[in-house]
C-alpha cells in the first residue's frame, strides 16, 4: 500500500511536528504533513498553532477536509510564506479528550448494537459525545451498556487502526458493525479487540483504559449524552463534595442522601396533595352553601383557620367564590404557623381594616393590604384563641 496515511491516523498521540507550508491562500493554510484532524464524521476538528523559532505565527481555529488534505483556517499574526518550515502544534489536551470521547462512542454503540439498537448519528466533542439511536432506549438497557463499557475500560482492551484498499477489504470479509458508506482509496477500520470493528476516519485512543469513565449526563428516548475522561472525573468529584455537604445538612450519611431526599420529597408531595384536598373540600362546602363559619362576632360570620390550608391563589379563589355566592359580612382568617396571617372581609371592609389596625399597633409585624384583604407577618407567635379574643374586642 503506497498511499500516504495522515499523521492524525498513523500516530494520533503525536501533537507537534516540523513541516513545510504547501500552500497559503488568505487565511487558509495547507501543510505537507497532516497532523491536524479536519472536522468530519461528527468529530470536531483540532485547533492549535504554527510556530517559527519560538514565535507563534498563526493560530489555527478550525480545520476542514480539502480533498485528501487538511485545510487550516488560521488567524495569521506574522509573515508566513509557501515553502516555509513551521512547527505545527496541536492542542494536545483537546486532541486527547476528543480521542477518548470518540473511542468511548464506538464502545457504547457496539454494546447498544448487541442489544439490537443501532447508532444512526454520533457527535464527538471534547470528553463528551451524543449518540442518536434508531429506536427507544430503556433506562435498563442504558445502565447495562454503560456497565459493560466501563468494565471493558477497566480491562484495558486494546484498540487498533487497520487500513485496507477496496480490493484488500473485499478479500478480508470483515464483520463490521455498519456497512461501508463510501470507499475512498484507503479504508480505515477501528478495531476494539473482540468487541467492535467499524469503519471510521476519526482519532482514537490505543487502549480503552485511557477513556477513563463513561458517565451518562442525560438521556432521552432515542439519544444518550455521555461524558468521558477528565470531564467525568470533575463531575463525580464535584457531585461527591455536594453529597457530603448535603449529608451533613440532612444529618445522614452520604450513602443515605438520596434515600433521605426521596423520603422528604414523598412527604412534601403528600402534604401538598392533602392541602389541595382541604381546598377542594372547602370549595365544595361554599358551593353547597353549607355552614362554613365557625362563629359569629358582632354581625360578622367569622372563620379562623388555625393553619394556612391554601396558597395565595387558592385563598383568592375562595374569596371570589364567597362573593359570587353572596356571602357578605364575613371575616376569613388564615394563619400559618401562628405568624403569617391572611385575612379578608367583604362588604364595608370595616372589620378587616379594624383588625389590621389592632394587630399592627399591638404587635411588631410586617405586611399590609387594602380593600379588606391583608397579609401580615408577625414577629412572634399568636395563637388561635388569642386571635378570637382580639376579634371579639373589635
Ligand atoms: Zn467513529
- Domains in the chain (CATH in brackets) are 7-90 (2.40.30.130), 96-238 (3.30.980.10), 289-393 (3.10.310.40)
Q: What is the CA(252)–ligand 1 centre distance, in A?
A: 45
Looking at per-residue confidence, does 380 or 82 come out higher? 82
Residues surrounding ion ligand 1 at CB below 5 Å: 200, 202
- pLDDT at position 161, please? 95
DSSP tag of 329: S
The answer, yes or no, to whether residue 172 has pLDDT greater than 80, is yes
Chain segment 25-50, per-residue pLDDT in tens: 999 999 999 999 999 989 999 999 99
- pLDDT at position 95, please? 97
At 170, list the grid cell: 473485499
Highest average pLDDT, of 256-260, 277-281, 360-364, comes from: 256-260
Chain segment 49-99, per-residue pLDDT in tens: 999 999 999 999 999 999 889 999 999 998 899 999 999 999 999 999 999
- pLDDT at position 269, please? 80
The answer, yes or no, to whether residue 230 has pLDDT greater than 90, is yes
- pLDDT at position 199, please? 94
Q: Please check whether residue 8 is in contact with residue 36, taking contact to mean a CB–CB distance below 8 angstroms.
A: yes
The average pLDDT across 166-179 equals: 86
Q: What is the CA(165)–ligand 1 centre distance, in A?
A: 19
Q: What is the CA(218)–ligand 1 centre distance, in A?
A: 21
Give residues with Cβ within 8 angstroms of 111, minimum separation 6. 144, 145, 148, 149, 195
Residue tagged 470533575 (cell numbers): 234
Q: What is the CA(2)–ligand 1 centre distance, in A?
A: 24
Query: Of all residues in the chain, what percent carry a pLDDT higher than 90?
Result: 56
Looking at per-residue confidence, does 219 or 394 come out higher? 219
- pLDDT at position 231, please? 97
Query: How far is the C-alpha of 84 from the C-alpha of 104, rounded, in Å?
Result: 38
Q: What is the CA(102)–ligand 1 centre distance, in A?
A: 6
Q: What residue ranges in 294-372 does DSSP mark as E strands?
A: 295-297, 300-305, 330-336, 340-345, 365-370
Amino acid at each position: 500500500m503506497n498511499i500516504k496515511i495522515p499523521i492524525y491516523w498513523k500516530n494520533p498521540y503525536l501533537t507537534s511536528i516540523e513541516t513545510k507550508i504547501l500552500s497559503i491562500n488568505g487565511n487558509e493554510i495547507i501543510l505537507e504533513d497532516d497532523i491536524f484532524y479536519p472536522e468530519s464524521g461528527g468529530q470536531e476538528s483540532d485547533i492549535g498553532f504554527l510556530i517559527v523559532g519560538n514565535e507563534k505565527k498563526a493560530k489555527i481555529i478550525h480545520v476542514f477536509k480539502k480533498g485528501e488534505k487538511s485545510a487550516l483556517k488560521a488567524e495569521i499574526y506574522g509573515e508566513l510564506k509557501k515553502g516555509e518550515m513551521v512547527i505545527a502544534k496541536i492542542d494536545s489536551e483537546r486532541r486527547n479528550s476528543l480521542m477518548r470521547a470518540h473511542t468511548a462512542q464506538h464502545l457504547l454503540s457496539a454494546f447498544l448494537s448487541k442489544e439490537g439498537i443501532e447508532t444512526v448519528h454520533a457527535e464527538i466533542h471534547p470528553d463528551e459525545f451524543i449518540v442518536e439511536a434508531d429506536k427507544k432506549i430503556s433506562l435498563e438497557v442504558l445502565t447495562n451498556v454503560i456497565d459493560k463499557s466501563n468494565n471493558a475500560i477497566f480491562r484495558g482492551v486494546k484498540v487498533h487502526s487497520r487500513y485496507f484498499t477496496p480490493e484488500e477489504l473485499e478479500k478480508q470479509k470483515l464483520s463490521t458493525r455498519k456497512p461501508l458508506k463510501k470507499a475512498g482509496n484507503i479504508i480505515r477500520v477501528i478495531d476494539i479487540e473482540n468487541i467492535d470493528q467499524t469503519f471510521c476516519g476519526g482519532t482514537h485512543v490505543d487502549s480503552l483504559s485511557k477513556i477513563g469513565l463513561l458517565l451518562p449526563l442525560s438521556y432521552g428516548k432515542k439519544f444518550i449524552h455521555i461524558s468521558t475522561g477528565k470531564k467525568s472525573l470533575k463531575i463525580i468529584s464535584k457531585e461527591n463534595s455536594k453529597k457530603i455537604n448535603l449529608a451533613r445538612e440532612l444529618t445522614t450519611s452520604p450513602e443515605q442522601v438520596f434515600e433521605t431526599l426521596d423520603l422528604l420529597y414523598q412527604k412534601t408531595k403528600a402534604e401538598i396533595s392533602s392541602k389541595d384536598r382541604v381546598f377542594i373540600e372547602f370549595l365544595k362546602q361554599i358551593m353547597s352553601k353549607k355552614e362554613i363559619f365557625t362563629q359569629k362576632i358582632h354581625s360578622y360570620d367569622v372563620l379562623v383557620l388555625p393553619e394556612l390550608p391554601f396558597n395565595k391563589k387558592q385563598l383568592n379563589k375562595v374569596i371570589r367564590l364567597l362573593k359570587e355566592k353572596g356571602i357578605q359580612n364575613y371575616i376569613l382568617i388564615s394563619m400559618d404557623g401562628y405568624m403569617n396571617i391572611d385575612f379578608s372581609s367583604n362588604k364595608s371592609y370595616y372589620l378587616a381594616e379594624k383588625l389590621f389596625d389592632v394587630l399592627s399597633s399591638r404587635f411588631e409585624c410586617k405586611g399590609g393590604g387594602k380593600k379588606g384583604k391583608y397579609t401580615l407577618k408577625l414577629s412572634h407567635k399568636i395563637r388561635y384563641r388569642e386571635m378570637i379574643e382580639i376579634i371579639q374586642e373589635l
